[in-house]
Copies of this chain bind each other. A is one copy, B any other.
Amino acid sequence: MIENPYYSHEFHGDYDLISVGELQLEEGGTIPDCQLAVATFGTLNAAKDNAILIPTWYSGTHQIWRDVYIGPDHALNPDKYFIVCVDQIGSGLSTSPHNAGGPNESISMSKFPHVRIGDNVVAQERLLREHFGIDRLALVVGGSMGAQQTYEWAVRFPDKVLRAAPIAGTAQNTPGDFLIAEAMREAIQSDPGFNGVEYQSNTDVEDGLRRQAHIWAVVGFSTEFWKQEVWRALDFDSREAFLAGFLDPYFTAMDPNDLLTQSWAWQRGDVARHTGGDLAAALARITAKTFVMPIDEDQLFPPRDCAAEQDLIPGSQLRVIEDVLGHLGLFGVAPTYLPQIDKHLAELLATEV
């Protein structure tokens, strides 16, 4: 175990750690005591049919959803819905390499097993069923790796997902995306302080984490974001100040191995694992009413990749979000971003299924 103050209630507010017990993993490993960090908003009704699940993205937690997406003025309205946001395995809040101790001591740090998108979804399904008694979800919505988990939910448990909204993500990760994640992994792993995964503190890998942030700067935002100097709206007066004051500290606070656990899963997200590699067959299983929501300037998950998948999902619709920030538009910084999300999610939630 490594102490890292970033992964705490101080930085992430209220959440509960809920064990779903031993989790057998698709790659063959085991998490002896899989703890999920869970933040809930609103109240589960008696019929238990107002539940919404939100899985999280790479480097993100429930915090961004709570602060940006959820509220009485939004489609994700806790006055109407019981919203369950589950931080993914390796997020640093749920069971992760850096915090694996006690019953998970055997999988600490370099001994942490490979975790897939499917493992997260299996753990979440168990959590919802055993802990909350939820059998069907009014909606699963997530961005980026959260979209990967959303697709996995809709394909793996079609009867349990009434509506699905994958934002800025794909059902089958593309090779270009794999290579982006690989370049980020290499930036971290090449830091001498990484020390073969057995660093003593995330600060030992600060240089590598910063280089990884700079690859995010390139692909996470759009070229237009930089050209139009959109960061000025965030009260920075230079590009360098924005990097040093926002993107660098965002990532250098995190645990390198936790990030690597997430990106390993990200690289291999693929619902066609359920159908012997046949993506069309996998997506044809989806019965959820699905709005596929790419961001127009996204370089990680370009709209054409998302549209090609949407075309294979029965009854689905393509709803392109306009945001010059690109993939990191997910942060909800642009004032025009969330109104688009709210509009589409409200329409999706209002759709009878």
Contact = CB atoms under 8 A, between A and B. Distances in A.
A174 B211 contact: no
A165 B36 CA distance: 58
Contacts of A221: 176
Interface of A: 174-177, 179-180, 182-183, 186-187, 190-192, 207-208, 211, 214-215, 217-219, 221-227, 229, 239, 299, 302, 304-305
Contacts of A299: 223, 299
Contacts of A191: 190
A226 B174 contact: yes
Mostly, the A contact residues are helix
B223 A211 contact: no
A175 B218 contact: no
A183 B191 CA distance: 14
B183 A215 contact: yes
> Which residue among A219, A302, A304 has the maximum number of chain B CB atoms within 10 Å of its CB?
A219
Contacts of A305: 223, 227
B175 A239 contact: yes
Contacts of A207: 190
Contact of A217 (B174, B177, B179): B179
B177 A214 contact: no
A232 to B, nearest CB: 12
A186 B266 CA distance: 24
A176 B223 contact: yes
A226 B192 contact: no
Contact of A183 (B182, B192, B214, B304): B214
A214 B176 contact: no
In the complex, which of the residues A177, A187, A208 has the most CB atoms of chain B within 10 Å of its own CB atom? A187
A182 B214 contact: yes
Contact of A219 (B174, B175, B219, B224): B219
Contacts of A304: 224
Contacts of A187: 186-187, 211
5 contacts: A175-B239, A176-B221, A183-B214, A187-B211, A192-B192
